[in-house]
Amino acid sequence: MTDQDNSAVEPLALFGGTFDPVHYGHLRCADEARQKLTLSKLYLLPAGTPVHRDVPQATVGQRLDMLELARTEFPHLLIDDRETRRSGPSYMVETLQELRVSFPDRPLILLVGQDAANLLHTWHRWKQLFELAHIVILTRPATHTRYEKNLAKQLQARSETDGRKLFDSKAGAVLQLEVEPVDVSATDIKHVIRSGGSPRSMLPATVLEYITANRLYLTN
Ligand code: ATP
């Protein structure tokens, strides 16, 4: 993303993740959300050093390569690699602050799956996230909504049902968005590969070819 990426008043939308590896759960849900929110593009934002999870098995370079390969099927999904260029833990609040400096007047939208939303209260300086961006929560198969008390209060107070409203202010609203269920996770994919199977239907063929060629995820 460049600072020139300011041509339209369209909100800047970001979908953060480890993408170890990227799969159809990320790609289809993000692209469906993009369309429902009437956005021309959406940025996949790979974490450099994820905060709440184990160290990724693939290197940063490999995760970026796989995202780039996945894009051929999803041309409206772009990649923002800023967190991979930063040292230290990839705190989302710092990423959003950086974007706010570059785009002072633009609405920012942070998309998260329901499992990530359930843990928002554990994110670094989590209350500040709402001052910096709108939050869109995507439904995820087999994941229930379960919020900690203070988080539930914040989400309730900021709840919005009309996606167009996210164009009218820079930050602060929370929208729950139902997307077509895609029952895939990176964990499942790794499990299938380790067991000698092929997770063919779970991710783009180009990404699977890359995984095979680089002998990724064969061991724990
Ligand atoms: P893992 O299996 O290791 O937990 P993951 O598949 O959940 O990995 P991440 O890269 O950690 O992948 O997820 C990034 C974001 O994508 C999170 O907000 C997560 O909730 C969301 N997400 C991942 N898979 C799905 C899915 N199938 N449907 C909806 N959201 C998803």
pLDDT, tens only, 38-48:
999 999 999 99
Pocket test for ligand 1, best of 26, 64, 207 (most atoms within 8 A of CB): 26
| Cα 117 to Cα 138: distance, rounded to the nearest angstrom | 9
115 and 175 inside one domain: yes
Q: Which residues pair with 16 in a beta bridge?
A: 45
Q: State whether the beta carbon of 92 lies less than 6 angstroms from ligand 1.
A: no
Q: State whether the beta carbon of 63 lies less than 6 angstroms from ligand 1.
A: no
Strands (E), the chain: 12-17, 42-46, 77-79, 108-113, 134-138, 159-160, 174-177
Buried b / exposed e across 70-93, counting CB within 10 Å, b at 16+? bbebbeebbbbbbbbebeeebbbb
| Cα 124 to Cα 92: distance, rounded to the nearest angstrom | 8
80 and 126 inside one domain: no
pLDDT of residue 131 exceeding 50: yes
For the chain, the average pLDDT equals 95
In a domain, 124, yes or no: yes
Compute the CA torsion angle 142, 147, 148, 154 (nearest 10 deg).
160
Report pLDDT for 2.
Answer: 65
More confident residue, 50 or 148: 148
| Cα 207 to Cα 21: distance, rounded to the nearest angstrom | 8
Among 147, 83, 89, 92, smallest CA distance to 115 is for 147
Angle between helices 60-70 and 205-213 (to 10 degrees): 150
Nearest residue (CA) to ligand 1, atom 21: 113
In a domain, 52, yes or no: yes
In a domain, 152, yes or no: yes
Pocket test for ligand 1, best of 18, 112, 184 (most atoms within 8 A of CB): 18
86 and 103 inside one domain: no
pLDDT of residue 9 exceeding 70: yes
In a domain, 197, yes or no: no
pLDDT tens column, 184-214 = 999 999 999 999 999 999 999 999 999 999 9
CB 146, CB 152: distance < 8 Å: no
| Cα 75 to Cα 42: distance, rounded to the nearest angstrom | 10
Among 142, 139, 175, 163, smallest CA distance to 28 is for 139
104 and 77 inside one domain: no
- The domain total for the chain is 2
What range defines the domain where residue 166 resides? 96-183
pLDDT of residue 7 exceeding 50: no
pLDDT tens column, 43-71 = 999 999 888 778 899 999 999 999 999 99
